[in-house]
C-alpha cells in the first residue's frame, strides 16, 4: 500500500483529475478519487513515483467502491497493454518499497547524486 498523488484522465473527456494511489502492482492499481468512474471505463493513469519510475498507462476500471462518508471513492484499475520496461520498473519500485517497509528504511536511489 502506498499513498501517492497521481492523475487520472478519462479517455472520453481527456481531462486530468487528481487521485491518490493507494496500491500498485505490475498488473494494476487502486486509486481514490472524487472523480466519478464506472466499471468498464477506460482511463489513463499518470504517475510520477520517483526519478526512475514515471509512466502514463492505459487502464480499465474493474471495480468501484463508493464511500458512505466523504466525497472520494476507490477504483480498481487493470493495466492494458503494459510495456515490458514499464512493468519491470513498477515491479522493482514495489519490491524496493516492500523491502524498505520491512526494515523501516528507504532504499538508496541509484540515480541520486552526491549529498
DSSP 35-58: S---TT-EEEEEEE-SSS-EEEEE
> 6: part of which helix (H) or strand (E)?
strand 4-10
Q: Give SS3 for 90.
A: helix
Among 26, 11, 22, 9, residue whose Cα is nearest residue 83: 26
Tell me: pLDDT of 111 over 60: no
**Cell (9 digits) for 46:** 499518470
CATH topology of domain 4-103: Thrombin, subunit H (2.40.10)
pLDDT at 94: 86
pLDDT at 114: 47
In 3-state terms, the chain is what percent helix, strand and coil (to 5)? 15, 40, 40
Phi, psi of 52 (to 5 degrees): -95, -20
Q: Work out the number of other CB atoms within 10 angstroms of the CB of residue 78.
A: 13
pLDDT at 17: 93
Residue 74 binned pLDDT confidence (cut-offs 50, 70, 90): very high
pLDDT at 101: 59
Tell me: pLDDT of 106 over 60: no
Domain extents in the chain: 4-103
pLDDT at 60: 97
Provide the 8-state DSSP code for 106: P
Tell me: pLDDT of 29 over 80: yes
Tell me: pLDDT of 69 over 70: no
Mean pLDDT of 64-93: 88
Amino acid at each position: 500500500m502506498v499513498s501517492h498523488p497521481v492523475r487520472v484522465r478519462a479517455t472520453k473527456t481527456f481531462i486530468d483529475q487528481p487521485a491518490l494511489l493507494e496500491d500498485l502492482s505490475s498488473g494494476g492499481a487502486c486509486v481514490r478519487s472524487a472523480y466519478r468512474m464506472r466499471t468498464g471505463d477506460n482511463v489513463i493513469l499518470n504517475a510520477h513515483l520517483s526519478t526512475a519510475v514515471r509512466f502514463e498507462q492505459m487502464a480499465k476500471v474493474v471495480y468501484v467502491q463508493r464511500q458512505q462518508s466523504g466525497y472520494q471513492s476507490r477504483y480498481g484499475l487493470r493495466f492494458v497493454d503494459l510495456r515490458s520496461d514499464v512493468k519491470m520498473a513498477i515491479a522493482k519500485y514495489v519490491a524496493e518499497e516492500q523491502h524498505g517497509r520491512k526494515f523501516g528504511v528507504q532504499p538508496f536511489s541509484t540515480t541520486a547524486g552526491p549529498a
